Amino acid sequence: MLRALPLLAAAALVTASALPAAAQDVRFEIVNNSSLSLYYFYASPTHDPNWGQDILGNEVVNPGESGTVTIADGEATCIYDMKFVMEDGQEITGQTDICTSARYVLQ
């Protein structure tokens, strides 16, 4: 019976350490195949009505370039709404599963 206690403790530790993994930061690549520079990028879980802050910060993704951002909002969801604001003010919106695809291509 005493041998089972360390195994149960180890199992509890593995289970507890697996829980936060669902809410890890996600590195996400944006490929700009459009003819305009990308100035702002917003991403939010589909259940959140707010866009939050621009994830690109001071970065700009020019036509033909790609950039990598980190989605670090602590969410455990996979489906995200995305908004891209181009140099002319045009807004492009989309939705993606960041758990299965770590890349979005702007056309």
Query: CB neighbours (10 Å) of residue 71?
Result: 19
Report the C-alpha gap between 73 and 64 in whole angstroms.
28
Q: What SS3 state is found at 68?
A: strand
Query: What is the pTM assigned to this prediction?
Result: 0.75
What are the structure tokens assigned to 82, written together?
Answer: 């995305």
Residue 18 reports pLDDT greater than 50: no
The CA distances from residue 5 to 10, 12, 20, 26, 59, in Å, are: 9, 11, 24, 36, 52
User: Helices (DSSP H) in 24-85: which residue ranges?
Assistant: none
User: Can you give the pLDDT at residue 23?
Assistant: 61
Which H or E run includes 76? none
Architecture of the structural domain at 21-106 = Sandwich (2.60)
Question: Which residues sit opposite 40 in a β-bridge?
Answer: 85
49-106 confidence digits (pLDDT tens): 999 899 999 999 999 999 999 988 888 889 999 999 999 999 999 999 998 998 999 9
